[in-house]
Amino acid sequence: MDLRLTEIQEAARETARDLAEKKLLPAAAKLDASEAFPDEALKELAGAGLLGMRIPEAHGGAALDMVSYALTLMEVARADASVAVTLSVNNLVAETIERFASDELKATYLTKMNEPAGLGAFALTEPQAGSDAAGIRTRAELKGGHYVLNGEKTWITSADRCGVMLVVAVTDPSKRSKGATAFLVDGNAKGMTVGKHEPKMGQRASHSCPVFFKDCKVPAANMLGKEGEGLKVALSGLDSGRIGIASLSTGLTQACLEEMTRYAKERTAFGKPIADFQAIQWMIADTAVDLEAARHLTLAAAWCKDAGEPIGEKAAMAKLFASEAANRSAYRATQVFGGYGYSREYRVERLYRDARVLTLYEGTSEIQRLVIARGLLK
């Protein structure tokens, strides 16, 4: 792997860093407190060509490579993890559409996804089917030229603001994992109702909502891939999605390191800066090591995807390590701040809450370990 960044990759990172520092970070605490959707932040990203950065140029996107994408997400997450996960899911859906959709579907949806009104949502999880994706119960029955959807999804990112939703539903219950099919559903489709977003611990400006389907008609032409390939379609998207969450986690770890290093130099105890104490130095050092390792694992997975190599295990490794590292780093940052770290007046309190979900969504740490182990043992 060539560790040198190209001019395009450097430019993408610098553009994202400038926008994150000037626009995203100043608004992050207020968005978190109010649980308001980051409309202005997404407009800024769209204006910079970063909302649909993985979308091909033919459909109005920036067509950035995966390394540029990872670097961009790191910078955005360093400022606001809620905005970063919204950005990540949009590009996950766009990439899946690009890979599996017909030319007609690409023309209909991809261009719109470069703007906030066309955001993508990814609907796989259900109340009784999280890690066990093959256990989904939402049904899709073919009636004439349409499939009719009935069922419920939950924890769907951006469901209340999306322009298109990628939905996986069961078309043949007798086939279990090979009986599910993926569809694209318009965000305003009749028969689809989005519930109130969850009152979450962290990443509160990213809305996660239940979605209900009641006789929702979807054109048969809106199928992604072939009938019965729904889990294949969804899981291929999750490989890239895991690189996105690894990038987000790395950016959050960077923020933790910056906060704890700055504060350790400013805060005094027993007549000297707490940065002079070995206990604090070790926490800073361990966080720096976690950051470096997470960054390299994540960029290695991104580089392999750009090279056309299989990324299932590498993406799982990056997501596992980076998300766990972010949680360790948020813990250490809060510890360095002491009692102040428990106050919402300080950024580390939000970082601590934002970090917790990283080991849960887009595959728990336990699922990542299964993916890695199965790859090694096959």
Specify the 3-state DSSP secondary structure of 179: coil
CA distance 178 to 213: 22
- Length of the chain counted residue by residue: 378
Token pair for residue 55?
Answer: 């979308």
104 is catalytic: no
227's CB contacts (< 8 A; 6+ apart) are 171, 172, 181
* Cβ neighbours around 356 below 10 Å, total: 16
CA distance 347 to 368: 29
Quick one: DSSP state of residue 239?
H
Q: Does an H or E element contain 354, and which?
A: helix 347-356
Q: Which amino acid is at 317?
A: M
130's CB contacts (< 8 A; 6+ apart) are none
Residue 67's Cβ-count burial label (10 Å; 0-12, 13-18, 19+) is buried
CB 194 within 8 A of CB 209: yes
CA distance 163 to 185: 9
CB 97 within 8 A of CB 109: yes
The residue from 57, 198, 362, 366 that is catalytic is 362
Q: Which amino acid is at 167?
A: V
Phi/psi at 142 (5° precision): -75, 125
Tell me which residues are annotated as active site.
362
